Chains A and B, each alone.
Chain A
């Protein structure tokens, strides 16, 4: 019984703390990006100002179902974060996370704006690119722990990074796509595009956009949490690695220009799947020997 109460407290704490961490990380991202571009940059709390302001704006819904998809996006992202803090099934987390993204895509597809539709189609292509790599990552975790449960990752005496170094690199590659950062920011991005306006989020306004923004924070924390898994013991090393990876994403974001979706699909499949498969074959041979 006490375990259940402990779990509930843990999930509630994660739901409250995650957007705060995500927002601050987002603010740091904007500040550091600005410094890299020789600008002063917004205050670190700027993402919170943006979201609060958006909550105070007029509610304009383009159609009746739009809000359902936005809430679905939030709900599934929160659910997968909850599963992460409870150390549940890693495979299930990936599926729930995909559901969350699909909700957003469907929301963007439900409106009549061509910008929104192009953004949604590009998002589907992005998912097509990174989902195989995420699944192979789960396979790699299974091969080194003999379980899909995250709990078993924490029970390992050797960090996951030592057995899955190539999958880790593939995951960092995929992280850029997941965070919609340059060079893979073609479905939507923080800054408006010339040809796509805001892509996926063009038709969302006011509170809906605020919820989408908050979901991005949950997503960010979840993804950094997944990086932490690679060095789960001691956990502070994992968190440090996750933060270093996030900084690396900022650097990549600032030094690269947007590529085409064909380029992304080709190279994500070649590099991402190639690295992950190589790692898995190596693990297989090692386990057999």
Chain B
């Protein structure tokens, strides 16, 4: 493991996107930043900018309006990157899964790496999910070296439109 791989694990920068969340999961996600949980001790920073981020934290289910924004954010993030679905809605669509405008969980449109279940999940579970996502980034970085540059995001996107359930459950 090179020095960059070691550094990568210690510096996950996240971008948090609220799809159609009821705000419950968002409040818990932001609670991670407070002095009580202080995610910065793991090097986690909420950068709010997809071009700087390593981990996309999504709350809420994906619907026909926000799928474009979600894909846009994901495509703007430089590789290696990971997606963490926080909450029941982001994992499966939750109680909104039967709505006429809802596609379902984030895994319908993006390759989700870690699922954090709960309605809403505790901040400890969210932090744990992000830390697990960093472990997954290591394998992705290895693939990035082998894969031809540039085509990786699209290929990953298409693969995920099927059913992607290889994410670790927290």
Interface residues of A (CB under 8 A from B): 30, 34, 37-43, 46, 48-53, 55-60, 191-192, 197-198, 201-206, 209
> Can you name 20 extra interface pairs (CB under 8 A) apart from A49-B10, A53-B7, A209-B52?
A34-B38, A38-B35, A39-B35, A39-B40, A40-B38, A41-B41, A43-B10, A48-B7, A49-B6, A50-B7, A52-B8, A53-B8, A55-B4, A56-B4, A56-B141, A58-B78, A58-B144, A192-B48, A197-B48, A204-B51
Indicate whether A53 sits within 8 Å of B54 (C-beta atoms), given known contacts A30-B40, A42-B41: yes
Residues 34-67 of B, flagged 1 when their CB comes within 8 A of A and 0 if not, give 0100101111011111011010000000000000
Expressed in whole angstroms, the Cα–Cα distance for A37 and B48 within the complex equals 21
Return chain A residues, CB-CB under 8 Å to B5: 56
Min CB–CB distance A52 → chain B (angstroms): 4
Contact: B79 with A57, CB < 8 Å? Answer: yes
Min CB–CB distance A214 → chain B (angstroms): 14
Return chain B residues, CB-CB under 8 Å to A30: 40
Return chain B residues, CB-CB under 8 Å to A53: 4, 7-8, 10-11, 54
Contact: A42 with B40, CB < 8 Å? Answer: yes
Contact: B52 with A198, CB < 8 Å? Answer: yes
Return chain B residues, CB-CB under 8 Å to A51: 7
- Quick one: closest B residue to A190, CB to CB? B45
Indicate whether A57 sits within 8 Å of B3 (C-beta atoms), given known contacts A30-B40, A42-B43, A203-B51: no
Total residues of chain B contacting the partner, CB 8 A: 29
Contact: A49 with B11, CB < 8 Å? Answer: yes
Query: B80: CB under 8 A from chain A?
Result: yes
Expressed in whole angstroms, the Cα–Cα distance for A40 and B47 within the complex equals 19
Expressed in whole angstroms, the Cα–Cα distance for A38 and B34 within the complex equals 10
Min CB–CB distance B39 → chain A (angstroms): 9
Expressed in whole angstroms, the Cα–Cα distance for A53 and B52 within the complex equals 11
Contact: A41 with B40, CB < 8 Å? Answer: yes
Indicate whether A198 sits within 8 Å of B47 (C-beta atoms), given known contacts A57-B78, A209-B52: yes
Indicate whether A34 sits within 8 Å of B80 (C-beta atoms), given known contacts A49-B10, A55-B4, A198-B47: no
| 22 A-B residue pairings within 8 Å (CB atoms) | A34-B38, A39-B35, A42-B40, A42-B41, A42-B42, A42-B43, A46-B43, A48-B7, A49-B6, A49-B43, A50-B7, A51-B7, A52-B4, A52-B7, A53-B7, A56-B7, A57-B78, A57-B79, A58-B144, A202-B49, A205-B52, A205-B78
Return chain A residues, CB-CB under 8 Å to B163: none
